[in-house]
Each structure stands twice: as C-alpha cells, then as structure tokens.
Amino acid sequence: SFLGNSMVSDWAESLIQTLGRDIQNAAEESIKRSGVFHLALSGGSSPLALFQRLSRHHHGFPWKHTHLWLVDERCVPFTESDSNFGNIEKHLLQHVRIPYVNIHPMPVQRNQRLCDIEDMGNQTYAEDIFALVGNASFDFVLLGLGNDGHTASIFPGKEDGIYGRSTVLLTESPQKPHQRMSLSLPLINKAQKVAILVLGKGKHEILTLISRAEKTPKKWPIHGVNPTPGKLVWYIDYETLLR
Ligand code: 6PG
C-alpha cells in the first residue's frame, strides 16, 4: 500500500506489462457496460514504454471503441518532441486502428497562437469532455509524477488546480515549456480508475518526500488526487523504491 492506496511494484518491464493488461481489462469492462472506453493519458518520458507496449502486444485491445484524451499538454506544436500528443501519436496512434474521431488532442495551437488565454481552447476542451464523457467521469486516467512533484500539469503551490472546479486549466510550469493545459484535479478525481506510474531511480527522492509529508494537498498536488476509495493504484518500479 502507498499513502493508503493500492500499489503494484515490479521491475519496469513487468510493471508496464501489468499496467497494459490492467488498462485493457478496464477497457473491456467499460465497453461491456457502456459501449465505450474513455482513456486519458499523461505525457512525459515514463509512459513511452507503455505506449510502445500497447501498440505492439495488445492485439485484442478494443481501440475501435476507445476514446483517447489528454491529461495535460505542453503548449508547443504537435511536431515538437516536447508535445505530449506528438509522442502519443508517434508511439501509439500510428500503430493502432483507432477511429480518427475518437482522438481528442488538447487544442494548444490555433491561428498560429499557443495556449492563449483569450483563445479559450481549454474551455472548448472542457466542453468536449462534458459533452462526450458520461458525467465527465473518465474510465481510466494515467498520471505521472514529475521530479518537482507535479502531476498532470498541476505544479506544487498552485492551489487552483487542486481545489475549484472540474475543468481544464491553463497552467504554468517552472520548467520549459512554461505554458501548459491540464485537467484539474477535481475532474481527474471523478474518474472510474486512476493510475500513477512512477519509474526510475530519479523519482526516489520525490517519492520519499511526498510519502513522508503530511497528507495535505496544499503542498503536493499528488495528495489532492483522491478519487473514490479503491480507484487509485500506484505503479512504482523497483528502481524507484530501492534506489
Ligand atoms: C507532463 C506530464 C507530466 C508527467 C510528469 C512525469 O506533460 O509533464 O504529463 O505530468 O507525468 O512530468 O514525467 P516524466 O515521466 O518525464 O518524469
């Protein structure tokens, strides 16, 4: 158990295999129940191996009935290597048969401008979620943990993403690229299942910090990830745990 939630730990390759299988099981369950699977994915480097695994090893995966959403995005064109959607496209979408209309990238670039407050791309995204995802409750949300303790694109000390409404926010990262778009934690917390994937010894320190800190969401956004009990699972590899 980790911070009172379920935890799966293993060597990275097996951990990714388990997570891939858990996502596929969640997809099959959701489709049986509602005919559709709404999956929201994070970016960063950790999920790349998962994307590759999902594209290569899960031949029975019900992509046809899967809708793919973004948890967060860096405000750069999709063609840049920093782009979360760009990476999902390259490592996953190009290799699986998912209907074009089921793919929902965050609208970070319109009319040559990036994540512009006046452009309201974030609100459009929130509207799409509320229109297409039943009760705005994603079936599966994949999160990561940044070395500085951010999750999704909610950064430590930024309370507006932790409290407040179920919505899509424009946020700012201390690291480049600074401008981000992110699901708010209240929106993430409505999900049926939430997974937090933590890989590599580089994450040992932050994991130790947050596990020892008092569980007030004020400091560490990850403590504000509180879906209904039993719905959150941490996937942490041995490298991170043991260092
Ligand atoms: C982002 C991600 C972010 C990610 C963490 C971990 O765009 O920054 O969606 O929330 O999960 O930063 O990223 P790494 O796996 O690269 O450490």
pLDDT in tens, 2-17: 888 999 999 999 999 9
Q: Is residue 86 part of a domain?
A: yes
Give the closest residue (by CA) to ligand 1 atom 5. 146
Q: What is the ipTM of this complex?
A: 0.93
Residue 237 · residue 199 · CB < 8 Å: yes
Average predicted confidence (pLDDT) for the chain: 93
Q: Is residue 77 part of a domain?
A: yes
Say whether pLDDT at 126 is over 80: yes
Give the closest residue (by CA) to ligand 1 atom 10. 152
**Distance between CA atoms of residues 61 and 1, nearest Å:** 29
Strand order from edge to edge, sheet including 179-183: 72-74, 179-183, 168-172
Q: Is residue 58 part of a domain?
A: yes
Total number of domains in the chain: 1
CATH number of the CATH domain containing 63 = 3.40.50.1360
Tens of pLDDT, residues 24-46: 999 999 999 999 999 999 999 99
Cα→Cα distances 58→103, 109, 112, 235, 237, Å: 19, 32, 37, 19, 21
Say whether pLDDT at 204 is over 80: yes
Q: Is residue 1 part of a domain?
A: no
Give the closest residue (by CA) to ligand 1 atom 11. 144
Residue 129 · residue 69 · CB < 8 Å: yes
Say whether pLDDT at 217 is over 70: no
Beta carbon of 161 within 6 Å of any ligand 1 atom: no
Beta carbon of 237 within 6 Å of any ligand 1 atom: no
pLDDT of residue 59: 77
Q: Is 71 exposed, middle or buried (0-12, 13-18, 19+ CB in 10 A)?
A: buried
Q: Quick one: average pLDDT of 165-184?
A: 93
How many C-beta neighbours within 10 Å does residue 145 have? 26
**Distance between CA atoms of residues 199 and 9, nearest Å:** 10
Query: What separation in Å is there between the alpha carbon of 163 and the centre of ligand 1?
Result: 21
The helix or strand, by DSSP H or E, that contains position 126, with its residue range, turns out to be: helix 121-132
Q: Which tokens belong to 78?
A: 């999709």
Residue 95 binned pLDDT confidence (cut-offs 50, 70, 90): very high
Say whether pLDDT at 78 is over 70: yes
- Whole domain around residue 111: which residue ranges? 6-242
* Residue 162, phi then psi, degrees to nearest 5: -90, -45
Angle between helices 48-57 and 84-91 (to 10 degrees): 30
Say whether pLDDT at 103 is over 80: yes
Bigger pLDDT: 218 or 86?
86
Q: Is residue 236 part of a domain?
A: yes
Q: Which tokens belong to 21?
A: 């299988």
Q: Quick one: average pLDDT of 87-102?
A: 96
Q: Is residue 164 part of a domain?
A: yes
Q: Is residue 85 part of a domain?
A: yes
Q: Is residue 15 part of a domain?
A: yes
pLDDT of residue 170: 93
Q: Is 232 helix (H, G, I), strand (E, B) or coil?
A: strand
The ligand 1 atom nearest the CA atom of 72: 9
Instruction: Give the closest residue to 239 by CA, choosing from 188, 205, 209, 195.
Output: 205
List the alpha helices (DSSP H) in 8-97: 12-34, 48-57, 84-91
3-state helix, strand, coil in the chain (%, to 5): 40, 20, 40
Determine how β-strand 232-237 pairs with β-strand 194-198: parallel
